[in-house]
Amino acid sequence: MAQQVTEELRQKDAVAADLATGPESAPRRTADRAPPDAGLHRIVIVGGGAAGLELATKLGDTLGRRGEASVTLVERARSHLWKPLLHEVAAGSMDVDEHDLDYLAQAHWHHFRYRLGEMVGLDRGRKEVILAPTFDEEGREITPRRSFGYDTLVVAIGSVVNDFGTPGVQEHAIALDQTQQAARFNRRLVNACIRAHAQEGPVRPGQLDVAIIGAGATGTELAAELHRTTRAVVAYGLDRVDPEKDIHITLIEAADRILPGLPPRISGAAHGLLTNLGVQVRTGARVSAVQADGVRLADGGFIPSELVVWAAGVKGPDVLRDLDLELSRSNQLVVLPTLQTTRDPDVFAIGDCAWCPREGHPAPVPPRAQAAHQQASHMIRQIRRKLRGRPLEPFVYKDFGSLVSFGEYSAVGNLMASWRGRA
């Protein structure tokens, strides 16, 4: 027992000491002492989202805790909020501070290292991940440009929205890729309501209207959530704004139905629910440009709207282009069924940034939280096999269905439909 406690203390000391220094490698930055786990297999995970955080935590709890490997998570943010909750942040129904998870604390309790920084490149010859320097609000450097050596690298940096080059999206629309963007949208929405309440004249057409472009799960859930929260904001004394008359929410989808990735009966149920709430649903509507005052459609139509959310499709982050690894058309890392990238067996990719083939299906594994979770679980077993010199196994994605939440209103979904043999 005493030996176990001593070992746990030694491990915690090692983790704490390493939070301050770390196994950075030459020449960009050299640690001034050998890391406590020198000689161990170095597993570096880049990106601590749905896939990477679960992987780092479970590897830390097993290999890290037992001193069988060193586990490092490189992440550009300081805390994690599960991405499927971002529409609630945007709508104002969730307080980020109450639900986010601090990486430093998580690393400490789960026996892995957390290193703050954004991956900007990869030196595959030297097996090093290169990180950009980080700065505080005053512009003072916190960490320099540095690199981390790895024996096994897992890239899990998620995705960014794909605007397909549509003019005006960057300038006038907000995407929900990161917590800051979701919070920024919410501030804009609340400020717009306060401004409308305080102004002399009546509310202009489109002034408080919200257009959501893309009716996948994100856009559809956001439409319902916004319907509720805008009414709540106004109810707190902004009595010169009449939500029924002044606030219109339009959900715009290029496909012929909303939730095009789900079975038609789910789309139909969700469409009916939104329409009953008063959300305007425009299907078969292709957006040609986003302007400061609204959304221009390819058929010449115009939807006045000063608040626009772009939620139509995702692609791999730009940095993936600089890694000299095979990319899909949507800029994701192409992986083998073993989740290894096609050009480098020591570099794996999981989650949204991976283009993973799916046997018997024309489309790859979808960019969804359940895929990220399943790939993280598979990766844990693969890393153990790799360390023991055993052959790797293929990843098989199981679709457990989807649940589209309409917050307090309702939910629709096909949970476990495939398991029951219904699609």
Ligand X SMILES: Cc1cc2nc3c(=O)[nH]c(=O)nc-3n(C[C@H](O)[C@H](O)[C@H](O)COP(=O)(O)OP(=O)(O)OC[C@H]3O[C@@H](n4cnc5c(N)ncnc54)[C@H](O)[C@@H]3O)c2cc1C
Among 60, 64, 367, 401, binds ligand X (CB under 6 A): 367
Give the span between the Cα atoms of 107 and 75, in whole angstroms.
Answer: 12
Among 110, 146, 296, 368, binds ligand X (CB under 6 A): 368
Q: Does 91 bind ligand X (CB under 6 A)?
A: no
Q: Which stretch binds ligand X (CB under 6 A): 190-198, 265-273, 281-289, 345-353?
A: 345-353
- Residue 418 sits at φ, ψ, to 5 deg, of -65, -30
Nearer to ligand X, 285 or 314 (CB): 314
Please check whether residue 31 is in contact with residue 149, taking contact to mean a CB–CB distance below 8 angstroms. no
Among 352, 374, 386, 406, binds ligand X (CB under 6 A): 352
Nearer to ligand X, 49 or 64 (CB): 49
Query: Interaction with ligand X in 255-314: which residues (CB under 6 A)?
Result: none
Among 15, 43, 45, 50, binds ligand X (CB under 6 A): 50
Extract the tokens encoding 272. 């009916």
Q: Does 319 bind ligand X (CB under 6 A)?
A: yes
Q: How far is CA 312 from CA 174, 292, 331, in A?
A: 11, 19, 16
Q: Which stretch binds ligand X (CB under 6 A): 61-69, 235-243, 283-291, 367-375?
A: 367-375
Which ranges of 131-241 does DSSP label H, i.e. alpha helix? 169-172, 179-198, 217-235
Give the span between the Cα atoms of 310 and 392, in whole angstroms.
Answer: 39
Distance of closest approach, residue 222 Cβ to ligand X, in angstroms: 7
Distance of closest approach, residue 41 Cβ to ligand X, in angstroms: 21
Please check whether residue 273 is in contact with residue 410, taking contact to mean a CB–CB distance below 8 angstroms. yes
Give the span between the Cα atoms of 279 and 305, in whole angstroms.
Answer: 14
Among 51, 63, 122, 153, binds ligand X (CB under 6 A): 51
Among 214, 351, 364, 413, binds ligand X (CB under 6 A): 351
- The residue type found at 417 is A
Nearer to ligand X, 241 or 314 (CB): 314
Distance of closest approach, residue 37 Cβ to ligand X, in angstroms: 22
**Per the omega criterion (within 30 degrees of 0), is the bond before 27 cis?**
yes
Q: Does 246 bind ligand X (CB under 6 A)?
A: no
Give the span between the Cα atoms of 45 and 379, in whole angstroms.
Answer: 11
Among 29, 41, 76, 228, binds ligand X (CB under 6 A): 76
Closest CA to 57 of 114, 123, 5, 18: 114
**Dihedral through CA 370, CA 374, CA 380, CA 381, nearest 10?**
170
Among 47, 206, 243, 413, binds ligand X (CB under 6 A): 47
Please check whether residue 188 is in contact with residue 382, taking contact to mean a CB–CB distance below 8 angstroms. no
Residues that bind ligand X (CB under 6 A): 46-52, 74-77, 80, 83-84, 86-87, 118-119, 156-158, 176, 217-218, 317, 319, 351-353, 367-370, 372
